Amino acid sequence: MLRTYPQHFFAYFFTGRYDEWAHESYMKNLSKNLFFAVFLLFAVTAVFSFFAETDNADPKVITLSELAAKISDGEVTRVVVNGEELKVSLKDGGEVISRKETETGFSETIVNYGVAPEMLRTMEISVEEPSGFKYWMGILIPTLLPVILMVALFWFIFRQAKTGANQAFSFGKANMKLWSGAGEKIKFKDVAGLREAKEELEEVVDFLRNPQKFIDMGAKIPRGVLLMGQPGTGKTLLARAVAGEGNVPFFHMSASEFVEMFVGVGASRVRDLFETAKKAAPSIVFIDEIDAVGRERGTGLGGGHDEREQTLNQILVEMDGFERDTNVIIMAATNRPDVLDAALLRPGRFDRRVVLDMPDLNDREEILKIHAKGKPVQNVDLRAVAVRTPGFSGADLANLANEAAILAARSNRKIITQDDFFNSIEKVMLGPARKSRAITENEKQITAYHEAGHALVAAGLKDSDPVHKVTIISRGLAGGYTLKLPTEERRLKTKTQFLADLAVALGGFVAESTVFGDVSTGSSSDLKYATEIANKIVTQYGMSEKLGPRTLGKNHEMIFLGREISAEKDYSEKTSEIIDEEVSRFVKKSFDIAKKIIIGHKNALDAIAKTLIEKETIEQQEFSDLMKEYGMRQISIR
């Protein structure tokens, strides 16, 4: 709720905004402004004090008649004439002041008052002409100082209002930046992986460099290129590579910078952006996170025509309106292509859609090599690091290499080792290790059996990924964890693999209930994961025998709130009950399989838990040897 103080008027006047931020901004500068005013007051006072005529004791002022009497009595030794002022020195050491009443000289004036001329010869009479810097400053400062103060006051006021006024007149200007090529220049060779995406963009750069060979074939320049991919896959990095490769002006801007609180600003900035790019044609314009303004229209509450939609309409017109002969290529990046307006994606606007996938094993190794350059890496198998990082994006791998360097520096070492990379993987995935976390022996035993349950079920299923590491060292919010990694890269997942993941997720819960006859809150995240997987098996992947090959429910995830409120389910209440039954059936089936494995290999479970309590961590080879020792046999979950 806004506070209503009188200074809000001044905050509004100087900042153009009547809100809490304006009030805080105004009050923040108030102390500085008061200091400036006090300093100016002291400066003016000092100037007046310097040039003012001051004496320790003010002399007595007498009339000319009294002065004439003193001269006649012989009491005056010296008279200094300064304009109309007479400074009189007496024999007793005193001083008095008198003033002339006429423009005649002093001698003539004083004689007229009855002083004998011979009395004037007994004293010294001198004329002091006003001159010097102090005299002229005494005349000029009283005249000029008010003018100077008024000019300074107006300058101060306009300087305070300048930001708000300029902002008001520059709202319609696009805050775009022209890439100058200064600093680090990124080329396509500096971007590991993304071969198909680089080929598409190399073609665009070639079109701008050598347009004639395409024109001779009757080809037209592509209007727009949309980079789509999950966060961290390298969309902005590829745009920087295009800027580094192309010899044309490259303008870049974030989509969120178009929209302001004032209506019409976004559309005006779009016009300014494209107008500038057309003047510099051939050129490239890159709009990052275009989903900020490119979301589907007519989906808000009330379906109103808001500022974002007006901005999108202007982008649509600029990209493919009546003016089509402009050599401007629009590049945009988003990780939410599903929410973009259909008109933005049609041919003639974003002609090319470049999909950036998560890097595979070979790509991850290449990315790690790039980020390992310039670092003192010694005897590090980057291939092994790449094997342990399935699902990592390029940004994750860059962070991983940086964390490895930080871990080495923290240990006061000059080289980065393999263990630094392996430890940084777990740190990126789960957070830093919390070895100082104090837990009771009972909690440590429960955690050991919980993780042993996960690992044992994973080792006992053919369709589960092999176990690489089991530990009860707390990281992040996890009390312990079991690291499973696939033996090969895969894009598809089968129903049996999903069921195996379900059984492994429930392994910790089953182990606790089997060994202790009770369960703890440590299984909450496992149960949540298992429920989500079972729900997707039934509603998204069509793997339920009862419901058959169909999807159920709209996967908008509350993107369009206006539609979600009015939308109806695409299945009946009876189907909803069947969904609940199927989800429970899949969870129950996986639970029974996990229980069968744990009860059937209780000795192996105890051995794993005992080793974890002693060592806290079991690596892949030690775990495999332990399973062979207890004759672990794998079963299928079919």
Cα(225)–Cα(290) distance, integer angstroms: 12
Catalytic annotation, pick one of 309, 318, 426, 451: 451
Strand partners, 177: 252
Structure tokens at 624: 């495999």
Cα(452)–Cα(617) distance, integer angstroms: 11
Structure tokens at 274: 């494209």
Cα(116)–Cα(54) distance, integer angstroms: 34
Catalytic residue at 451? yes
Cα(105)–Cα(102) distance, integer angstroms: 8
CB atoms within 10 A of CB 13: 15
Distance set, CA 284 to CA 240, 277, 293, 346, 358 (Å): 11, 7, 19, 20, 26
Compute the residue count for the chain. 638
Structure tokens at 572: 């009946």
Residue 16 and residue 164 in contact, taking contact as beta carbons nearer than 8 Å: yes
DSSP 8-class letter at 105: -
Distance set, CA 90 to CA 70, 94, 100, 215, 336 (Å): 9, 5, 18, 108, 100
User: Which H/E stretch holds residue 330?
Assistant: strand 328-334
Residue 487 and residue 468 in contact, taking contact as beta carbons nearer than 8 Å: no
DSSP 8-class letter at 377: B
- Max Cα-Cα span within the chain: 145
Indicate which residues carry an active-site annotation: 451
